Structure 1
């Protein structure tokens, strides 16, 4: 178990408070974005969101689909017609994904 000095604790506390104040000043609540699955495509194929936002995939095709991270870190599971699945993205970066059943179906989420 590591120990922390008062100076380190003060720095961590100050950084945390600054982050809370910045978030309060921005006044931004997390948003849910929707990606529709139609005609064997993710629409939109590329989506830009903010860290903390949620993406919901809705399947409008007769065939089942998934949205599965290329690195396998997340998966909506099988989405049948008119069913949805969602993932919340906490960290900034780029997430590429595909459908397990239809490998040519691909998408990209950019988290700012």
Structure 2
């Protein structure tokens, strides 16, 4: 029989990212992938994201409804993303990028590239 205290979990919040570590010290896993935008409840989360030039941003749709990821300047446009589908775009140039869902245009976010 295993000792439950060896398998209890400790959640440490550092700089807005959640880290989950086994209290026994065997492993550490990052709970949220950097530069990831989650689409849930008809919202982009986070609604504002700042990344460095050369970074790739990944969007993941967790809603049961399809969504798209579209730049208002026409630089990129995903196909309709079904539940658990992802879309990635590499931001090479600094700037402010406005993003929306073409199916649900009220869904908006801003990506700032430094």
With normalisation by structure 2, the TM-score equals 0.69
Q: CA RMSD in A?
A: 1.3
Question: Greater helix share, 1 or 2?
Answer: 1
Unaligned runs of 5+ in 1: 1-30
Which residue of 1 is the match for residue 64 of structure 2?
Answer: 62
Which residue of 2 is the match for residue 46 of structure 1?
Answer: 48
In the alignment, the residues of structure 2 paired with residue 47 and residue 75 of structure 1 have an alpha-carbon distance, to the nearest angstrom, of 18
With normalisation by structure 1, the TM-score equals 0.71
Runs of 4+ in 1 over 3 A off after TM superposition: none
Give the structure with higher Rg (CA): 1
Question: Greater strand share, 1 or 2?
Answer: 2
What SS is found at the alignment partner of 2:39? strand
Equivalent positions of 1:70-89 (< 5 A) are 70-89=72-91
Equivalent positions of 1:1-112 (< 5 A) are 33-112=35-114
Change in Cα spacing, 1:92 to 1:51, as seen in structure 2 (3 Å) is same
TM-fit CA distance, 1:76? 2.0
